[in-house]
Amino acid sequence: MHDTTKPGGISLLTDPIRNRGTGFTQDERARFGLEGLLPTAVEDLPTQVERVMGHLAAKPTDLEQYIYLQDLCDRNETLFYAVLMSDPARFVPIVYDPTIADACLTYGQIYRRPQGMYLNKEMKGRLAEVLRHWPTRDIRFICVSSGGRILGLGDIGQNGAPIPIGKLQLYTACAAVPPDGLLPIHFDIGTTNATLRADPLYTGLRDEPPSDDDLDALVDEFMEAANEVFPGVCVHFEDWKGTDAIRLLARYKDKYLVLNDDIQGTASVTIAGLITALQIKNEKLADQKIMFAGAGSAGIGIANMIVEAMQDEGLSEDDARSRIAMFDVKGLLDSKRGDLSPSQKVYAKDLPATKDLAEAVKSFKPTTLIGVSTTQGLFTEDVVKGVAANTDRPIIFPLSNPTNKAECTPDQAYSWTGGKALFAAGVQFPDVTYDGKTYHPGQANNFYIFPAFGLAIFATRPERIDDKMWIAAARGSADQVDQAARDKGMLFPPQSNILETEVTTAVRTAEHIFDRGLATVDRPDDIRAWLKGMTYTPSY
């Protein structure tokens, strides 16, 4: 329950943390100087939620619903989370992907008021001082983005500010991580997007980004400052340019408590889908051959975590890497290419060079195809049938989002494979009926993993995060898909009771952290009860 002993009056009604609106009782209205400032009726939270639902129903577009909900969060945070947590499956697509893509594209037009913090490169040398402007010190998670690679939108600079806000809102909406310990930050390093720099309503710096060395020095200061001002904080990097994302995660993962959901969360949820698909096939991950379309930070992150999971099944690192091939805008990553980064070179193959994905599939003979290319339609009929030629149940994961970036649709995957494909996309497609059978396409959405992972980190307070923790979270999610769901082609748990699903995944992750002796708190007798005791419930 929020502290209502502080001064009241108009200041109380404009404080989103303490404000209850019509939920203040008559006694509270008298005590806090609210008489005459509110309508007469005293309403409970469910009644307020009902009114909000009516407001939302009158909004003509998802973007308008998004704007309304963010305004609600600025007025009454408790009511905002009561709405989101009443039906997360409905509201996740509104406050995050895919609607948040429209919010980012129009951020300069829809901006109302600040949310979280806004740092920029011109604050270098003063970042700790600026961070101290935040009113509370018990911050457990910072989600920070540069806007350098937002969804499939590319570099949109300050227009990416809604991303860390929405990401942390899902920590609470899906896994009940207490919101008062969450701080979204947009770190404005400039943008390569000349169109935005020329937009009179653009809210960010109108500069090009710094060099890698200058950026590293800037983020070094930020990481030191964040840990100084908010001791024990976990920094969640989100939607940085791919090369920056890979480099910064490697730079800090052994020194600070950090995670990158684009790399590790995407990898974890992909592995969760693979685990379920392979349970359906009754096969091991170590026996698969996997082709990636896309070799950026997401593809590399997924591949690296799959390698670690294959090693858990007995393969050597080299053997595991040999079972993964990659294809990017310049074609197959073959050993003769001279333009590969160090993280890409380990997946280069001694195969004929080709810029044709269907030819690469025919040459490598994968059983699984994963798309992180942001190229709509890249998985053609020839490509999918080429994978199906190598296995009875091809695994087809076109993970790019939003919807107009998906490499293929479930209708295509099912029809081209005679209903045999095990399918998951990065967005939720509607059910598909093929040959008299209805399939429920999977959605490999990170919200199945990162909120639960956040809850486990929040509770266990490890000093560092590694990929084995993410693999444990993937297994925790996959094990919640029952046989009836698998029969419908579902590779992830249903979204209807996402909070309990996330808590279960968090329990599995916390158990793993305790088993490895990585927690900095004592292990409780009942981890589930202990975790649930820390979760947030919106109430007055």
Tokens of 321: 């890497």
Q: Which of 421, 422, 423, 428 shows the shortest CA–CA distance to 443?
A: 428
Sign of CA dihedral 517, 522, 527, 530: negative
Q: What is the distance between the alpha carbons of residues 75 and 252, in angstroms, rounded to a whole number?
A: 36
Q: What is the distance between the alpha carbons of residues 22 and 18, in angstroms, rounded to a whole number?
A: 12
How many C-beta atoms lie closer than 10 Å to residue 318's C-beta? 9
Q: Which of 179, 13, 1, 185 shows the shortest CA–CA distance to 81?
A: 179
Torsion angle of C-alpha atoms 388, 306, 277, 392, degrees rounded to 10 = 20
What SS3 state is found at 452? helix
Q: Which amino acid is at 381?
A: E
CA 175 to chain centre: 13
CB 9 within 8 Å of CB 33: yes
Which one of the listed residues 66, 81, 96, 439 is annotated catalytic? 96
Q: What are phi and psi of 218, to 5 degrees?
A: -65, -45
CB 20 within 8 Å of CB 540: yes
Give the length of the chain. Answer: 540
Sign of CA dihedral 369, 347, 155, 95: positive
Question: Is 365 a catalytic site residue?
Answer: no
Say if residue 366 is preceded by a cis peptide, omega within 30 of 0: no
Residue 185 β-bridge partners = 117, 144
CA 391 to chain centre: 31
Question: Is 434 a catalytic site residue?
Answer: no
CA 450 to chain centre: 6
Tokens of 302: 């997924």
Which one of the listed residues 66, 81, 121, 167 is annotated catalytic? 167
Q: H/E/C letters for each residue in 18-78?
A: CCCHHHCCHHHHHHCCCCCCCCCCCCCHHHHHHHHHHHHHCCCCHHHHHHHHHHHHHHCHH
| Active-site annotation, residues | 96, 167
